Structure formats: structure tokens, C-alpha cells
Amino acid sequence: MINYKERLSSIRAFVFDFDGVMTNGDVWVYADRQTVRCGNIKDGFAMQYAVKKGYLVALISGATSASIDNRMAMLGVSHCYTGCADKLPVYERFLQEHGLADSQVLCMGDDLPDYPLLRRAGVATCPADAATEIKAIAHYISPLPGGRGCVRDVIEQTLRLQGAWFHPEAVVW
């Protein structure tokens, strides 16, 4: 059996859920029905860094909110699919549009709607506080919970393994 670290060498794309992965799962709902979520700045940095390094980064979420769209736009994530009751067709279209195989995708989800994507992805990952069923199929369970650095964890591991992470000697002061 191939361990997840060996699988990381083939990764060209990252697919993330939003609520429970990029956030801790809390949603504040105001009287006007606007919602607010809290994300992690280090997760965001890693996402935009991966984009700048040429990796494809996508969000596939069942939620819909202008704040989600805005956050992804701020990070340079142009593949933002929200309102997805069934995530698998969106995932398949993403693969087809970019000529990707499942083995080239790292997917992170935390709950049952993410199950079909995680079953397909080359590297299935989840936060520490994911649902039991998701943990059971994950190749890697981050020690960090959703919204607290789990996204950074998997991106950084992948880019480090592929030699694409930050190199201090390359910094020009």
C-alpha cells in the first residue's frame, strides 16, 4: 500500500470544502440572512501561494455566500464552485476541464457531502475534527481542526515534498 507522502509527488491540484475545512464550521447568521464565517490567514496564505506556484486550487462547497466568493477571489482562487448539493459532477467537470486524473488531486473535506470526492481523489485528507466516516477513508488526517491551519498543513507538505515551498536562500533583501 502506498502511503500518503508518496502520493503527494503526483499532486497538481487541490480541492477544498469550505465550511468545516477553511472555517471551524461556525456560521453567524444576521437578521438580514447575511452569513459570516471566520477563516485562517495561514490557510489563505498557503492557498494563494500554491496558486502563484502554478497549482490548481478549487473550492467545491454546498454553501453559497458572497463572503465565500469574495474570500476565494482575494486569494486568487478562480475555481470557486458554491451551492453544490452534489459535488461529484462539479469535481468531474473540474478534472475534465484541466486534463487531470484523480491521482493528481488532493482533496480535503470534513463531512458526508465530501465522501464521494474523497473516495476518488489521489490523496484524501481531512481536518482533525472531521466526521468519523470521513476519517475512515482519509489517507491523511491533519492534526489541526477545520479553520485552524489544516489547509496550510496539506498544501505545505505537498509543496515541500515537490520542492516548491519557500526557500530562504532565494529571498533577496
Q: What Rg do the C-alpha atoms of the chain give, in angstroms?
A: 15
List C-alpha distances in Å: 69 to 3, 78, 163: 34, 9, 30
Q: Sort strands 28-29 and 79-81 into parallel, antiparallel or unpaired.
A: unpaired
B/e letters for 24-56, b = 16+ CB within 10 Å, e = fewer, are bbeeeeeeeeeeebebbebbbebbebbbeeebb
Q: What is the pLDDT of residue 59?
A: 97
- The 10s digit of each residue's pLDDT in 97-110 is 999 999 999 999 99
Question: Measured between alpha carbons, how far is 120 from 94 in angstroms, rounded to an integer?
Answer: 13
How many structural domains comprise the chain? 1
Question: Measured between alpha carbons, how far is 129 from 141 in angstroms, rounded to an integer?
Answer: 9
Return the amino acid letter for 114.
Answer: D
Q: Sort strands 140-141 and 13-16 into parallel, antiparallel or unpaired.
A: unpaired
55: Cβ contacts below 8 Å, ≥ 6 apart: 11, 12, 13, 14, 159, 164
Q: What is the pLDDT of residue 167?
A: 80
Q: For every one of its 173 residues, what pLDDT tens digit does the chain have, with 9 covering 90 and above? A: 578 899 999 999 999 999 999 999 888 888 888 888 888 999 999 999 999 999 999 999 999 888 899 999 999 999 999 999 999 999 999 999 999 999 999 999 999 999 999 999 999 999 999 999 999 999 999 999 999 999 999 999 999 999 999 988 766 65
CATH number of domain containing 26: 3.40.50.1000
Burial group, residue 134, by CB count within 10 angstroms (0-12, 13-18, 19+): buried
150, 169 Cβ separation under 8 angstroms? no
Provide the H-helix boundaries in 8-138.
41-52, 66-75, 87-98, 115-120, 132-137
Find the domain containing 31 and state its range. Answer: 4-170
Q: What is the pLDDT of residue 171?
A: 67
